[in-house]
């Protein structure tokens, strides 16, 4: 399979971009769990790409492909320049964040507040598309604040699709820009999968990915009868083995025991430690791997308490792993 084919096929399953979570170490672990899924970086503001430490912000391991960079911003020129840099770094896609509801994002005029300005989003996407060959996509909500009817959502998508954007990742909730925290915005506004399914019915030419509340294999399989892909969010961190099970169901790959998957991470961990990376930065993504399993609480406790030590190495992970029981899969 070519890299282009792998990218195209990866639309079926992706892991959501999440601040303070989807760093390069987490993405390498998720790649081991889900070899064919599409991975996303944390959101990076376009100005940070232009003027910040690019290698720290944009660097990634080759095994992370297919990989997308998520950008934040509303200055079309800055976003276009950031896209050129992303393409040069080797990213497979650039995604514009039009869904994050945090106060920090609103103050900078990017994220979910841009759903109130579809023409600004369209202008940004146009500039980004004109600057690069790789796909440029949008991640949005169903609406914001008082705007919560299907017509508003559909009109937003139409405005952005009109300039050539072909792929939309939709968190199937609206966002309250005042009164709810980002955490509450992930939980309180009701999910409306039917709106996303209707959009795909009305615009079969667009590639539509459903995000929000997807944690079970059966949910994902059902969603894929209506849309092109599913995006897993918090579940990939709280219970990362769910990501592995969903991937196996969607792509027909073998289900492996948690222990075997973790051992496959050893070469990467040792290489990173040799480069001076602290174990705590890598182990954070592993904490929920044995959630609700025998020894799972001790596994998490050992990593939480011992990984922050400057001397912590792979033996800490082995010690944590020794508290668990080997799974016999059906």
Name every residue whose Cβ is closer than 8 Å to that of residue 227 and which is 6 or more positions away in sequence: 196, 197, 200, 208, 209, 210
How many helices (H) and strands (E) in the chain? 18, 9
Identify whether 100 is a catalytic site residue. Answer: yes
Q: For the purposes of burial, counting CB atoms within 10 Å of the CB of 225, is it exposed (0-12), middle (13-18) or buried (19 or more)?
A: exposed
Among the listed residues 100, 140, 165, 220, the single catalytic one is 100
Q: Where are the alpha helices (DSSP H) in 148-257?
A: 150-161, 182-185, 193-202, 217-223, 235-238, 240-251
Per the listing, tokens 């660097």 go with 59
User: Count of alpha carbons within 13 Å of 185, Cβ hemisphere only?
Assistant: 21
Rounded to the nearest 10 degrees, the angle between the axes of helix 24-33 and helix 240-251 is 50
Catalytic residue set: 100
């Amino acid at each position: 399979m070519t890299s282009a084919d792998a990218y195209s096929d990866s639309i079926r399953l992706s892991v959501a971009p999440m601040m303070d979570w989807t760093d390069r170490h987490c993405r390498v672990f998720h790649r081991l769990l889900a070899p064919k899924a599409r991975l996303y970086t944390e959101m990076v503001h376009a100005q940070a790409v232009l003027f910040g430490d690019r290698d720290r912000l944009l660097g990634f391991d080759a095994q992370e492909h297919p990989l997308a960079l998520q950008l934040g911003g509303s200055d079309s020129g800055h976003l276009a320049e950031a896209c050129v840099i992303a393409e040069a770094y080797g990213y497979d896609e650039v995604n514009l964040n039009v869904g994050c509801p945090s106060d920090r994002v609103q103050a900078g005029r990017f994220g979910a507040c841009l759903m109130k300005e579809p023409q600004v989003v369209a202008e940004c996407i146009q500039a980004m598309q004109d600057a690069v060959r790789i796909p440029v996509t949008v991640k949005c909500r169903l609406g914001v604040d008082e705007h919560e009817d299907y017509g508003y959502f559909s009109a937003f998508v139409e405005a952005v699709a009109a300039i050539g954007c072909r792929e939309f990742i939709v968190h199937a909730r609206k966002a309250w820009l005042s009164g709810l925290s980002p955490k509450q915005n992930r939980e309180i506004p009701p999910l409306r999968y039917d709106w996303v399914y209707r959009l795909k019915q009305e615009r079969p030419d667009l590639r539509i990915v459903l995000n929000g509340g997807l944690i079970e294999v059966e949910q994902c399989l059902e969603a894929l009868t209506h849309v092109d892909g599913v995006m897993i969010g918090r579940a990939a961190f709280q219970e990362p083995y769910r990501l592995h099970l969903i991937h196996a169901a969607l792509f027909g790959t073998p289900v492996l025991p948690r222990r075997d998957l973790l051992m496959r991470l050893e070469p990467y961990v040792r290489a990173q430690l040799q480069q001076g990376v602290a174990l705590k930065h890598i182990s954070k993504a592993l904490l929920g791997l044995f959630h609700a399993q025998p020894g799972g609480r001790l596994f998490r406790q050992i990593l939480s308490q011992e990984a922050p030590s400057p001397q912590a190495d792979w033996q800490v992970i082995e010690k944590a792993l020794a508290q668990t029981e080997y799974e016999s899969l059906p």
